[in-house]
Chains A and B, each alone.
Chain A
Amino acid sequence: MAKNKKVGWNGFSLKPRKEMPAGLWMACSACQQMLYRKTVEENLSVCPECGYHFRVDAPTRVRQLVDEGSFEEIAADLASSDPLNFTWEDKAYKDRIQFDPEKSDSHEALLTGKAFIKGRGVVLAAMDFNFLGGSMGMVVGEKFCRGVDLAIEQKLPFLVVCCSGGARMHEGLVSLAQMAKTSAALARLDEMGGLYISLLTDPTTGGVAASFAMLGDIIIAEPQALVGFAGPRVIQETIKIELPEGFQRSEFLLDHGFIDMIVKRRDLRSEIARLIDYCGK
């Protein structure tokens, strides 16, 4: 494996993709090029030099994908009940899920709503890695299912942007059960003939990969996204050999037949709109 300086591009850590560092100027975490922040933002948070796709939070993702002003959020006020009363060391899960509007736009790891993409109505759910690694707990599961319900009710396509390290262990088996819950809801959508598009972004692993992420009628991935069941570190610790280059990246999944296409961020809107024209109702 080439251990070049492109950490985060070919690297195998679960957190290679940093949010864009603060400040007027920034270095690309893939090509190390110094970039003017505004240029990158205008380029949909993609490095103009090397095409590296920076991770974006859910509100930014929604802004990038939908027609201006068309997003209508649902189930915005759901929060976890901390079913396990989970604590560790001197920390408590309860404190981690407090919504602080100063710090973040989102107060859970999924943002769900109705919107238009190039004039096509969709129900959209976007995951937010900033909120506890995009992990799926009871709120993510519930918001996801309400999104599916809305898609069924209004006969709209359902689009999900995945970005998650997996199940949220602070909610124990409640979080694991969300895998079954979201998958069962998708079975209903499937039976109603609804279109479900799953968009995999970096990273999509664990319980999210092993449930709704992989159930898309059409599965799209952004370039070089880490997608897999087990995290690379876990696999490496288990089998104790070097992992092949590009392992568990979008291109690897395309080669092995698990996704339909890789689409660059700037083409997502038009690709999704086209797919809806083919398969949507």
Chain B
Amino acid sequence: MPAIDTKPTAAPMATVYLQFEDQVAQLDRQIEDLRKQDQSLQGPNAAEIRRLQKEQTKLLQELYSNLSAWQTVQVSRHPQRPLLNDYLSLLFKDIRHLHGDRNFGDDKAIVTALGQIGREKVMIIGHNKGKDIKEKIACNFGCANPEGYRKALAKMKLAEKFGLPIITLIDTPGAYPGIGAEERGQSQAIAVNLMEMSRLRVPIICVVIGEGGSGGALGIGVGDRLAMLQYSYYSVISPEGCAAILWHDGSQAPRAAEALKLTAKDLQNLKLIDTVIAEPLGGAHRNVHDTIYNVEQFLLKSLAELKRIKIDALMEKRYQKIRSFGSGCVEISRLKPKTTDISIPKKLSAKAEIEQAEETPVETPVES
């Protein structure tokens, strides 16, 4: 894992503090006030500033080494968290945006682009949440419609044709639940992606960079490597949704988040993801460049590894990996005889019996 840059972090412009960061905010304000009084590094306040900064760092370390699941969800949704566009501009070179699913439209919630990482040419597929309100609305807050998933698949097939590895960057609250989405087959679009991604004959690397919202995330999330940023989450249902159903109270989301085991660390323990990519102290939004550097290192390493594997072997490995998800079922001893009781039909009426007789099988069943 690449080392986290430890040079004094230039405090980013007006950090938005999360609820649990009250004390950090207070320290930052104190430091800021002292700085305003005295700009120079040798001034009378310098020692005090250094002391407060140390205290702030220590506090952040404490907070972030013990984040609860719900706090992690909040960090993953932080308004200043680096989004797909930051990765496109800072991680990849020579980006060529590709548009449209050749069928219905161009969903802005999913971006597809050619780009270069290191010396590697790749296809990039990612959710786009949007920075400002105008962009957020245009891309539906990262909630894709069926045409988004179909665009992703069309471009992934293009990548397969020309032997380009695929990198997907996942960051969505979920696939969009709307009338149009249903009319155009949201479930079919996601289902087809799952099937096709399992057999695309190029390496696929998936990284959850923010929110991994259920089927909407999985729709571009099947591949050879699955990584998550340290404070991202990936869940079958939003904590709010789960709380509303099981606790009958949406405000129990913190409890639901805990129960769902949706953090990167939990999911690594469950063997559902391969790698946890470290975030800088205090979360990705406190140091965008370091975050992206860490993701870049992971991608370069994974690409190099996957390229060494022959494609047939890679396909088999991918399949076995997917098949291993949840394969730890328990075998209980069956409490009743195996088959016969299920196959005995209820007493049929005369009419049904005649029908049955007409339908006599052509072949004899193996067991009767």
Question: Which residues from chain A sit less than 8 Å from chain B, CB to CB?
Answer: 41-42, 59, 62-63, 66-73, 76-81, 83-84, 86-89, 99, 101, 105, 107, 111, 113-116, 118-121, 137-139, 141-142, 145, 167-169, 171-181, 183-188, 190-191, 205-207, 209-215, 227-230, 234-235, 238-239, 243-244, 247-248, 256-258, 269-270
Q: Does B154 contact A (CB under 8 A)?
A: no
Instruction: Determine whether the beta carbon of B336 is less than 8 Å from that of A101.
Output: yes
Instruction: Assess A138 versus B177: contact at CB under 8 Å? Given A177-B272, A184-B198, A215-B195.
Output: no
CB-CB under 8 A from A185, the residues of chain B are 323
10 closest A-B pairs (Cβ-Cβ)? A230-B177, A138-B326, A119-B361, A184-B198, A70-B365, A119-B362, A177-B325, A183-B194, A209-B187, A229-B186
A-B contact pairs, 7 of them (CB 8 A): A62-B342, A62-B343, A89-B247, A105-B341, A141-B326, A187-B199, A207-B214
Instruction: Assess A173 versus B236: contact at CB under 8 Å? Given A99-B332, A101-B335, A229-B187.
Output: yes
CB-CB under 8 A from A256, the residues of chain B are 183-185
Instruction: Determine whether the beta carbon of B342 is less than 8 Å from that of A84.
Output: no
Instruction: Determine whether the beta carbon of A173 is less than 8 Å from that of B367.
Output: no
Q: Closest residue to A235 on the B side, CB-wise?
A: B177
CB-CB under 8 A from B327, the residues of chain A are 138, 142
Instruction: State how many angstroms separate the Cβ of B191 from the closest Cβ of chain A.
Output: 4
Instruction: Assess A169 versus B177: contact at CB under 8 Å? Given A88-B259, A180-B198.
Output: no
User: Bound state CA distance, A109 and B51, in angstroms?
Assistant: 60
Instruction: Assess A116 versus B365: contact at CB under 8 Å? Given A42-B352, A180-B218, A211-B194.
Output: yes
Interface range on chain B: under 10, 10 to 19, 20 to 34, or 35 or more? Answer: 35 or more
CB-CB under 8 A from B365, the residues of chain A are 67, 69-70, 115-116
User: Bound state CA distance, A66 and B345, in angstroms?
Assistant: 10
Instruction: Determine whether the beta carbon of B359 is less than 8 Å from that of A269.
Output: yes
- Besides A63-B344, A234-B177, 15 more A-B contacts (Cβ < 8 Å) are A67-B359, A70-B368, A84-B260, A118-B362, A138-B329, A179-B218, A180-B325, A181-B322, A184-B322, A206-B215, A210-B186, A211-B194, A229-B187, A244-B179, A247-B179
Contact residues of B between 321 and 368, Cβ < 8 Å to A: 322-323, 325-336, 338-346, 348-349, 351-352, 356, 359-363, 365-368
Name, among B236, B262, B330, B352, the residue most crowded by chain A CB atoms within 10 Å (CB to CB): B236
Name, among A105, A205, A209, the residue most crowded by chain B CB atoms within 10 Å (CB to CB): A209
User: Bound state CA distance, A173 and B259, in angstroms?
Assistant: 11
Q: Closest residue to A175 on the B side, CB-wise?
A: B236
Instruction: State how many angstroms separate the Cβ of B180 from the closest Cβ of chain A.
Output: 10
CB-CB under 8 A from A234, the residues of chain B are 177
User: Bound state CA distance, A72 and B365, in angstroms?
Assistant: 10
CB-CB under 8 A from B76, the residues of chain A are none
Instruction: Determine whether the beta carbon of B177 is less than 8 Å from that of A210.
Output: no
CB-CB under 8 A from A269, the residues of chain B are 359
Instruction: State how many angstroms separate the Cβ of A201 from the closest Cβ of chain B.
Output: 15
CB-CB under 8 A from A168, the residues of chain B are 236
Instruction: State how many angstroms separate the Cβ of B214 from the closest Cβ of chain A.
Output: 6
User: Bound state CA distance, A137 and B330, in angstroms?
Assistant: 13
Instruction: Assess A229 versus B181: contact at CB under 8 Å? Given A67-B365, A101-B336, A183-B194.
Output: yes
Instruction: Determine whether the beta carbon of A142 is less than 8 Å from that of B187.
Output: no
Instruction: Determine whether the beta carbon of B191 is less than 8 Å from that of A174.
Output: no
CB-CB under 8 A from B158, the residues of chain A are none
Q: Choose from A83, A186, A213 the contact partner of B270 (Cβ within 8 Å).
A: A83
Q: Choose from B190, B192, B333, B340 the contact partner of A77 (Cβ within 8 Å).
A: B333
Q: Closest residue to A266 on the B side, CB-wise?
A: B355
Q: Does B133 contact A (CB under 8 A)?
A: no
Instruction: Determine whether the beta carbon of A181 is less than 8 Å from that of B329.
Output: no
Instruction: State how many angstroms separate the Cβ of A167 from the closest Cβ of chain B.
Output: 5
User: Bound state CA distance, A115 and B339, in angstroms?
Assistant: 11
CB-CB under 8 A from B359, the residues of chain A are 67, 118, 269-270
Q: Closest residue to A204 on the B side, CB-wise?
A: B187
User: Bound state CA distance, A171 and B255, in angstroms?
Assistant: 15
Instruction: Determine whether the beta carbon of B195 is less than 8 Å from that of A172.
Output: no
User: Bound state CA distance, A212 and B195, in angstroms?
Assistant: 9
User: Bound state CA distance, A182 and B222, in angstroms?
Assistant: 12
